[in-house]
Amino acid sequence: MTFLGSLLPILRWAPRYDRRDLRSDLAAGLTVGAMLVPQAMAYALLAGLPPEVGLYAATIPVIVYAFFGTSRQLAVGPVAIVSLLTASALAPLVEEGSAGYLGAAALLALMVGVVHLVLGAGRLGFLVNFLSHSVLVGFTAAAAIIIGFSQAKHLFGISTERKDHFHETVLEVIDKLGDTNTATLVLGSTALVALFVLKKLLPGVPAALVVVVGSILAVEGLDLEARGVKVVGDIPDSLPAFGIPDFDGSLVGSLIGTAFVITLVGFMESIAVAKVYARRHRYEVEPNAELVGLGAANVAAGLFGGYPVTGGFSRTAVNDTAGARTPLASLITAGIVLATIAFLTPLLASLPNAALGAIIIMAVIGLIDVAEMRHIAAVKKSDLIGLGVAFFATLVLGIELGIAVAVVASMLVVFARMSMPHTAVLGHVDGTTSYRNVDRFPEARTVDGVTIVRIDAALSFVNALNLKRLLVRYADELETVPRTLVLDASGINDVDATGAEMLAEVITELDERDVALHLTDVKGPVRDVLRRAGIWDRLGARVHTCTHDAVDAITSRREAPADQRRFGIDERSEDQQSPPNPEVAVS
């Protein structure tokens, strides 16, 4: 692969494009384009932006991603959660509807793009792992509820002030329900029902486009605007124009946190759905390359009057179902949106806000994934802690604080697991050389005076104290000779300085109790640490290849081999090894 080909993936697939894929790509591009036009306008409304800004974000950024992205099916553009994050960040800083608000949205897109590019260039894609899957499910569900409820004002035709917290928004809407516009409520409810029915009965039909056309005809034919139904109004027919956004320099510091949050959430959403379809079609997506692709798309969004974008679940699913084989489908989608801006915007002037609100509500309902929550509970109940914290923290504290609390909570759950790792007392399975957990295999036979313990975690500062107490307790329970504790290290893949110090202290305390500590199945990286810490030579012949050999040596009082390399205990040559001490060969 050439350097240029690695930088621009389009150079890898375009020269070898199979013309047999053209019909499928064309169908997918047209289908997603018909879906994206109303969605982009609706999501712009959610972000507090004019509808044309959503259309701008669905053009040049989509084209740029097709050049730089590695996913063949991922549909990039405005999405609900990023739109809400944009509104949450900008509303306290800039007056909604002002030129400064538009400039701040474009600036945020630029910043999100730069964060993506820096992470991609530094190959730091692993940082998104700080947001676990369960936390993302909880956060997304809460965000979906917040987004859905934020559209209540459009469905009821009422005016509400933007609030910082969900419960305040709920109270505000309830307080204004008396001002409901009946015509708006009927139109919005009809649009919502139509979207639901079309999705269930005719999934191949672009339901959002049908609702847009139908609601415009209803507004024009029934003169609903005169009855108080609010419409989007005139939309500029000018194509996206290149330009550095105007902004106040102080905004950069205020928006940097949001830029990181949008990058984290947006990339998690994008890479998750991209990998699903990559596996389905048997190709690879490279996370760091995807960071660059999404970063370039967001930079384009900022320079061409848009706002932050990322890959979306629903549109990607539609793109794949409609037959997308290559990123050419995305180029066709962008062409549809550009054509809409150039020729069809006058037809959209009578589009009611209630219809756009219904489109948003229908889109985010699927983000509340109850089935996945049940799956998480069935697989690992402790993961519900992070999920629940993310869900309630987001609802109570808001989007940005909620996700910050959720990330911290998920890390605390990980540390809690690490501090109390899984351990097992092992027994011998008759007729084999295997040793198994006696709690799971009660028939496994233990040896009098010998306790075999397996630790299934790295020895680190997080769990050192708890593991020390555990090992000393097992030693104190030994009553009969040979009073030996065997540590099966097959599950230990790393030891830090604190873990090594803990192991040295355990050896000392067990020696004082006249209990010998033996090690088995020690992995190479762990051996290296134990040698540097002086523990390996201190144990001498009390290190064994496997648990079976350790028990055999202890019970038969067999001397340890002089050449440990020959028996797979120590990879160093015999003259590099410390001579085994006969006094510690067995207990």
What mean pLDDT value characterizes the chain? 87
CA dihedral 431→436→441→442, nearest 10 degrees, is 80
484-488 and 516-520 strand pairing: parallel
Question: Is the peptide bond prior to 482 cis by the omega test (within 30 degrees of 0)?
Answer: yes
Segment 16-71, tens digit of pLDDT: 888 888 989 998 899 888 888 998 998 998 899 999 999 999 999 999 999 999 99
pLDDT at site 332: 95
pLDDT at site 130: 67
Tell whether the model's pLDDT for residue 164 goes beyond 90.
no
Residue 162 corresponds to which tokens in the numbers above? Answer: 């933007």
pLDDT at site 587: 46
DSSP state, 304? T
Confidence label for 579 from pLDDT (cuts 50, 70 and 90)? low
Give the distance between the most distant pair of CA atoms in the chain.
Answer: 100
Which residues in 391-548 belong to E strands, given as ranges?
423-428, 435-437, 450-455, 484-488, 516-520, 543-544
Segment 422-453, tens digit of pLDDT: 999 999 999 999 999 999 999 999 999 999 99
Domain boundaries, the chain: 21-232+254-413, 423-585
pLDDT at site 165: 78
pLDDT at site 26: 92
DSSP 352-371: BHHHHHHHHHHHHHTTS-HH
In this prediction, residues 87-101 reach a mean pLDDT of 89
Segment 506-525, tens digit of pLDDT: 999 999 999 999 999 999 99
Percentage of the chain exceeding pLDDT 90: 46
CB 71 within 8 A of CB 277: yes
Segment 67-90, tens digit of pLDDT: 999 999 999 999 988 998 899 899
Segment 372-413, tens digit of pLDDT: 899 989 998 888 888 888 899 888 887 777 877 877 877 787
Confidence label for 584 from pLDDT (cuts 50, 70 and 90)? very low
Tell whether the model's pLDDT for residue 301 goes beyond 90.
yes
Segment 320-358, tens digit of pLDDT: 888 889 999 999 999 999 999 999 888 888 989 899 888
Segment 115-162, tens digit of pLDDT: 999 999 888 777 766 667 788 788 878 888 888 888 888 899 988 877
Tell whether the model's pLDDT for residue 585 goes beyond 60.
no
Higher pLDDT, 74 or 13: 74
pLDDT at site 280: 84
Confidence label for 567 from pLDDT (cuts 50, 70 and 90)? low
pLDDT at site 63: 96
pLDDT at site 147: 80
The CATH-assigned architecture of domain 423-585 is 2-Layer Sandwich (3.30)
Higher pLDDT, 248 or 263: 263
In this prediction, residues 185-210 reach a mean pLDDT of 88
CA dihedral 12→14→17→21, nearest 10 degrees, is 110
Phi and psi at residue 33, in whole multiples of 5°? -60, -45
Tell whether the model's pLDDT for residue 574 goes beyond 70.
no
Residue 9 corresponds to which tokens in the numbers above? Answer: 């993936």
State the amino acid at position 225 in one-letter form: E
Tell whether the model's pLDDT for residue 559 goes beyond 80.
no
Q: Which of 431, 302, 330 is nearest to 70 (CA)?
A: 330
